[in-house]
């Protein structure tokens, strides 16, 4: 309990620090002191850079990571599998497909919110389909298998869209959505995603008692008095909102949903009900930190945030997979 509280405090502190640190980095040379002054008082052009460009970018990275961390922790609790993740269930792929369709059919050119909105709608559609296909008493193994199929199918449709893409600009947009980036994010983008992120987080947190009971398996959880239908609905719909919000903000970024809860378990134990908040903070810290690192790397073209996440996260995923004794029943 004390450990969980202090872990949350440390992670929250790290989040604030990283967001502030992120304000000091960018092509325009602005001294840290000037950057802070420009954040809190009006300094004209410098304030515009700090408030309109660097701050939304830092917050977008944090928000995307926090959404993925919370969604991963919730799905892992529901499926009792440390490898479960929005990617495993096909929700991320569906959200990315939504964004890609918006771009391919030029919806994105009609309204700036079309791509993010489609990402959220497709994440919801994917989870609703998951739920409907396994209607009633769906087993964990079946949920994961359906997710694998859904994921492959959405991946294939994304490739199809890229093949058929009529212009190279669409292609570069597609790459941004698929690899994930928070460059050039504005408060418009954040305002669009934040309500869904908040709603999703509240739903995931409301599922905490059910997740705790599921530690003893579905049958015992049921006998303990956990409402499993409600728990499933809260986690699945909550994760859809979170993933939709994350993909809308930063595109498809993998592995945060697996690695963040796994790191938290090392410090706070495995109780799935107590992992939700610290996993969200850890996910936010991871992406906020990664977004600082990619801007400090001496490359001509900035590394995509999702590529950096995969460079660290994919080996982490293999590590978790190789050291996990039990894969969902």
* Continuous segment of H or E residues that includes residue 136: none
> Phi then psi for 29, rounded to 5 degrees?
-80, 105
Other beta carbons less than 10 A from residue 145's beta carbon: 12
Of 154 and 273, the one with the shorter C-beta distance to other proteins is 273
Stretch 228-257 residues interacting with other proteins (CB under 8 A): 228
180 and 253 in contact (C-beta within 8 Å)? yes
Stretch 297-326 residues interacting with other proteins (CB under 8 A): 326
Is 277 among the residues that bind other proteins (CB under 8 A)?
no
Instruction: Out of 54, 80, 295, 304, name the contact with other proteins by CB under 8 A.
Output: 80
Q: What is the sign, positive or negative, of the torsion defined by CA atoms of 223, 86, 89, 103? A: positive
Is 270 among the residues that bind other proteins (CB under 8 A)?
yes
Is 271 among the residues that bind other proteins (CB under 8 A)?
yes
Torsional class of 226: left (φ above 0), alpha (ψ -120 to 50), beta (otherwise): beta
Other beta carbons less than 10 A from residue 230's beta carbon: 13
Other beta carbons less than 10 A from residue 42's beta carbon: 10
Of 195 and 269, the one with the shorter C-beta distance to other proteins is 269
Other beta carbons less than 10 A from residue 39's beta carbon: 16
235 and 202 in contact (C-beta within 8 Å)? no
Is 273 among the residues that bind other proteins (CB under 8 A)?
yes
Stretch 94-153 residues interacting with other proteins (CB under 8 A): none
Binding mask 36-75 for other proteins (x = CB under 8 A): ----------------------------------------
Q: How far is the CB of 140 from other proteins (least distance, A)?
A: 10
Of 77 and 254, the one with the shorter C-beta distance to other proteins is 77
Other beta carbons less than 10 A from residue 288's beta carbon: 28
Q: How far is the CB of 43 from other proteins (least distance, A)?
A: 47
DSSP state of 122: H
Binding mask 199-228 for other proteins (x = CB under 8 A): ---------xx--xxxxxx-xx-xxxxxxx
Q: How far apart are CA 92 and CA 178, in angstroms?
A: 10
Instruction: Out of 272, 278, 283, 313, name the contact with other proteins by CB under 8 A.
Output: 272
Of 140 and 246, the one with the shorter C-beta distance to other proteins is 140
Of 187 and 267, the one with the shorter C-beta distance to other proteins is 267
Of 194 and 224, the one with the shorter C-beta distance to other proteins is 224
Q: How far apart are CA 71 and CA 69, in angstroms?
A: 6
Q: How far apart are CA 146 and CA 227, in angstroms?
A: 23
Of 106 and 220, the one with the shorter C-beta distance to other proteins is 220
Residue ranges binding other proteins (CB under 8 A): 80, 208-209, 212-217, 219-220, 222-228, 269-273, 326, 329
């Amino acid at each position: 309990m004390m450990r969980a509280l202090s872990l949350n405090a440390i992670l929250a502190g790290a989040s604030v620090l990283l967001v502030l640190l992120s304000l000091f980095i960018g092509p325009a040379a602005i001294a840290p002191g000037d950057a802070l002054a420009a954040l809190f008082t009006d300094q004209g052009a410098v304030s515009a850079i700090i408030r309109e460009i660097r701050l939304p970018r830092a917050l977008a990275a944090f928000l995307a990571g926090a959404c993925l961390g919370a969604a991963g922790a919730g799905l892992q609790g529901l499926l009792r599998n440390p490898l479960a993740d929005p990617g495993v269930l096909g929700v991320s792929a569906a959200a990315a497909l939504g964004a890609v369709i918006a771009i391919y059919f030029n919806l994105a050119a009609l309204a700036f919110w079309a791509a993010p909105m489609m990402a959220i709608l497709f994440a919801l559609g994917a989870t609703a389909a998951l739920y409907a296909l396994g209607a009633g008493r769906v087993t964990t193994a079946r949920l994961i298998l359906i997710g694998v199929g859904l994921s492959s199918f959405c991946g294939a449709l994304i490739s199809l869209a890229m093949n058929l893409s009529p212009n190279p600009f669409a292609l570069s947009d597609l790459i941004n959505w698929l690899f994930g980036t928070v460059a050039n994010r504005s408060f418009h983008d954040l305002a669009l995603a934040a309500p869904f992120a908040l709603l999703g987080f509240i739903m995931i947190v409301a599922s905490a008692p059910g997740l705790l009971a599921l530690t003893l398996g579905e049958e015992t959880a049921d006998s303990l008095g956990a409402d499993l239908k409600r728990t499933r609905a809260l986690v699945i719909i909550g994760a859809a909102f979170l993933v939709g919000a994350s993909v809308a903000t930063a595109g498809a970024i993998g592995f945060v949903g697996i690695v963040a809860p796994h790191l938290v378990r090392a410090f706070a134990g495995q109780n799935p009900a107590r992992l939700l908040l610290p996993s969200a903070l850890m996910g936010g810290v991871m992406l906020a930190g990664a977004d600082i690192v990619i801007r400090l790397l001496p490359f001509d073209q900035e590394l995509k945030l999702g590529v950096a996440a995969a460079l660290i996260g994919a080996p982490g995923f293999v590590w978790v997979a190789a050291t996990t004794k039990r894969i969902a029943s």
